[in-house]
Amino acid sequence: MPAARPASIALTAFLLCSCGPVARDPGTVVYASGADLESANPLVTIHGLSRQVQRFVIFTTLARYDSALAPAPYLAKSWTWSRDRRTLTFTLDAGARWQDGTPTTARDAAFTLLAARDPRTGYARAADLASIDTTLAPDDSTLTVEFASPQPLFPMVLCELPVLPEHLLRNVPREEMRRAAFDSDPVGNGPFRFTERVSGQHWVFERNDEFPASMGGPPGIERLVIVVVDEPATKLAGLASGELDFAGIAPTMAALAARDPTIRVMDYPILLSTALVFNTHRPPFDDARVRKAVSLSLDRQRIVDVALAGYGTPAAGPVPPESPLALPARPVRDEHAADSLLDAAGWRRGPGGRRSRNGVALDATLLTVGSGDNAVEQLVQADLAERGIGIGIRQMEMGAFLARARAEPKTFDLLVTGIPGDLSLSFLGAMYDSRQRGSALDYGDFHTATLDALFARTRTADAAALPDAWRAVQSEIVRDVPAAWIYHSRGLQGVARRMENVVFDLRGELASIARWRATKR
């Protein structure tokens, strides 16, 4: 397979040549990523593994999720609400320091929150911070967050947004955050220190032996190496040879991996859903009837069974059914309804079954990331061909894909992408609000007054009313079909049996990294 060669070369060059002795050190853990980390700057990142590295490896968040997914102290050792719930006051741990020796203070936290809510920055969850009036740091260990209105719940975004060093980023214009040197050469304050990056090949993080005991103390492994390996066969070979300690496994290879006594196969829920995203601003997908016809044409169960070997759930909407906030619905495939919608939109079948209107064929190009066989995309292609829709598949490297998806004006037809979620579901607001630049689905740039009103309800609803508010949002999204949701993923990782204390859950694969232990192979 020609595409496997670069990944194999990168893995071998790093592990066996440039860092051979380090790779044999039992305290070094090597984790395979299918793509290069997007950025070390959480203000401009949507890539799922990049976000986990930021939260759990190199930075700290004010609060963090406990095992019950409730907010627990972290950088902030405590917090209190004012009586009217419009002021939230944090007391920060005084022991945290940036990698350059500078203390982490409340000024850093205030700077981060203000930068994140600034639309020029393009933070994907800025909508979560829209109710903040201001942030104040009366002293080094006290942070005060003032809101425009009473807040019914703790802002869960504070469990996911890492605090950044104000002294290193204050002079970076907000609109230039995506191009800051810091993004590829970060200075953190977390349990690991960034030490090296080779673009497109690997990132290296060393244990921070000075990480405060009050925040968990130094981690149990000495070094984390994230190496870019995009081919499933190369990942499995790396696990089997002992070159890799962690690697995502293709579902079709899970049974083979499970037969290797040195590999433990872990299957777990993740907040990642895959969808076809339409360009709703130009034909043919500016017509909701065509979008609905595409959605009704998809045999989602077949896609899960064939492409994922059953490791997934067919999607009826954007939120996995494991979430208590999910819309209780099942996906529908209705070929007759799809044909009727296409006929009503003027796309008629001609000789050979292909559809056209006014002499123009109903064709589109599907953009995707990767270099493999693209089984999901080919199954989508086959389903739509049955309805007379011609789909061409174009594979792209991650960076080029993101650039094309975010470009203005939008010139793509449709794309397939995994959408990383968050436990509070606020990612939905970012995805469909055209004012949130750089967010996961600003690709589709979909925005309506009805959705605005529904999202506003989710920001003011109390705990009892919140599930219904989010279900109303999902119902509207399903009705308008700015994206056709295909499946909700399950994580599937091969883990070297030498790794101990590894727990994967909805918080992410790296959530337990501070407790990992590695024995000799």
**Which is more confident, 46 or 519?**
519
Mean pLDDT on 446-465: 79
| pLDDT on residue 13 | 46
502 has pLDDT over 70: yes
Report the percentage of the chain scoring pLDDT > 70. 90
* CA atoms of 75 and 345, how far apart (whole Å): 55
3-class secondary-structure state, position 192: strand
Report the alpha-carbon distance of residue 280 to residue 300 in Å, rounded. 22
* Residue type for position 305: D
Helix, strand or coil for residue 376? helix
Of 227, 178, 218, 163, the C-alpha closest to 200 is 227
Neighbours of 323 (CB within 10 A): 17
Cα–Cα distance, 445 to 243 (Å, whole number): 42
pLDDT of the residue at 268? 87
pLDDT at residue number 443: 53
Domains of the chain: 4-59+174-269+491-518 (3.40.190.10), 63-169 (3.90.76.10), 271-489 (3.10.105.10)
pLDDT tier for residue 371 given thresholds of 50, 70 and 90: low
Report the percentage of the chain scoring pLDDT > 90.
64
Instruction: State the average pLDDT over residues 499-520.
Output: 93
pLDDT of residue 153: 85
* CA 479/CA 484 separation, integer angstroms: 11
| Average pLDDT of the segment spanning 470-478 | 88
Q: Are 186 and 40 in contact (CB under 8 A)?
A: yes
Q: What is the mean pLDDT of residues 172-193?
A: 96
Task: Specify the pTM.
Answer: 0.73
Q: Which of 76-80, 121-125, 221-225 has the lowest mean pLDDT?
A: 121-125
Number of residues written out for the chain: 521
